[in-house]
Amino acid sequence: MNAKLSEDLVALGREAGGRDLSVGDIEQALKGRGFAVVVLLLTLPFCTPVPLPVISTPVGLAVAVMGVRLAVGQKPWLPDFILGHKISGSTLVKVLESSGKVARWLETVVKPRWSALQFRGSHFLEGAAISASGVVLAMPLALPLTNSIPAWAIVLLTLGRMEKDGVLLTAGYVVSVMAWVYLGAITFFGAAALQGFWGWLIALL
């Protein structure tokens, strides 16, 4: 394994020094692993059950575009409106701290394994699953888990690809399917019915 993700995040915080940085600045600072870590930084804040529908739309669309490019074997790329977006120094510190905690936890379980899942052409499946999850993340839905399920799929798939971990890739594929199943449930039962269900469940808890 190369430098750990948590170490990359610490290095990024040192590089930022409390300054405002654009997404493009972050990608350049992280060099070789830049785009993968940028995807994680953009996605990790959505891993909580609380939906962030307005913010999730541009992030989800950007991730979907990157997934398509990965699927067809092209270099990962982010549109200029995402690369040029400035992140304040205070926000970046908070994002790096929360992302670092998740990264350190994930590093206790991530390792190269199940290498058969990274066969020639597997980038198509990985990219397609990341893109499909990005589409769900981009949906302007304000229901619990509408952001967190696709966000976790993207995190698992990206980390699995970075660290050649077939177990994480498998989990990412499963969670990606779950994201679409949940979207189907919203379509079939209606957002109001699911909102009522979540309200009832929270009341029970």
Per domain, the residue ranges of the chain are 5-204
Q: What are phi and psi of 87, to 5 degrees?
A: -110, 125
pLDDT one-digit tens code per residue, 7-39 = 777 777 777 777 787 777 777 776 656 667 778
pLDDT at residue number 173: 94
Question: Which helix (H) or strand (E) segment is 86 a member of?
Answer: strand 86-87
45 and 60 in contact (C-beta within 8 Å)? no
For a pLDDT cut of 90, what percent of the chain falls above it?
11
Mean pLDDT value across residues 80-89: 75
Q: How far apart are CA 47 and CA 166, in angstroms?
A: 21
- If pLDDT is split at 50, 70 and 90, which confidence band does 89 have? confident
What are 105-151's pLDDT values in tens digits? 777 777 778 776 666 777 888 889 999 999 988 887 777 778 888 99
pLDDT of residue 1: 44
Question: What's the rounded Cα separation, in Å, for the pair 42 and 62?
Answer: 10
Separation between Cα atoms, residue 139 and residue 164, nearest integer Å:
29
If one counts every other C-beta atom within 10 angstroms of the C-beta of residue 43, the result is: 26
Contact 59, 67 (CB under 8 A): no
